[in-house]
Amino acid sequence: NAGVMQNPRHLVRRRGQEARLRCSPMKGHSHVYWYRQLPEEGLKFMVYLQKENIIDESGMPKERFSAEFPKEGPSILRIQQVVRGDSAAYFCASSLKETQYFGPGTRLLVL
C-alpha cells in the first residue's frame, strides 16, 4: 500500500505567481488534511477535507489560499499570488480512523 504521495517535492515560484500542491491520500483513506511548517516550528493546521467537502478550514488564510478534494483525483492546495511569507513546507496527511499519515511534503520557495 503506497503511502501518502505529494508532488512536487520542491517548488520555486516568483512573487505573484500561483502555486499548486497535490496530495494523493493512502488507498482507502477519505480524509485529507493540509498543514504548513515554517523552519524550526511545529506544523500548523490549515484545512481538513473529505471527498468533495471542506470540513474545517479554520486554519486557512482568508485570501489567496484554497483547497479542494474532488471526487476523482488528488487533493489540491492552491496559493494564488504567492508572497515570500508563503515559503514553507506544506504537508498533506490522510487518515482512515484516528492516526494521520503524512506525506513527504512540498517545500515551496518564493523568490
Partner 1 sequence: ELKVEQNPLFLSMQEGKNYTIYCNYSTTSDRLYWYRQDPGKSLESLFVLLSNGAVKQEGRLMASLDTKARLSTLHITAAVHDLSATYFCAVDKGDGGSQGNLIFGKGTKLSVKP
Question: Does residue number 101 form part of the binding site for partner 1 (CB under 8 A)?
Answer: yes
CA 82 to mean position of chain CA atoms: 15
- Residue 98 within binding range of partner 1, rule CB under 8 A: yes
Please select the residue that binds partner 1; options are 11, 23, 43, 60, rule is CB under 8 A: 43
Rounded CA separation 52/26 (Å): 17
Q: Which stretch binds partner 1 (CB under 8 A): 13-21, 41-49, 64-72, 76-84?
A: 41-49
Interacting residue with partner 1 among 1, 2, 14, 58 (CB under 8 A): 58
User: How would you classify the pairing of strands 43-50 and 53-56?
Assistant: antiparallel
Segment near partner 1 (CB under 8 A); pick from 14-22, 60-68, 79-87, 97-105 = 97-105
Cα–Cα distance measured from residue 36 to residue 44, given in angstroms and rounded to the nearest whole number: 5
- Kindly tell me which residue out of 19, 23, 25, 33 binds partner 1, with binding defined by CB under 8 A: 33
Q: In the chain, what is the straight-line distance between the N-terminal and C-terminal CA atoms, in Å? A: 37
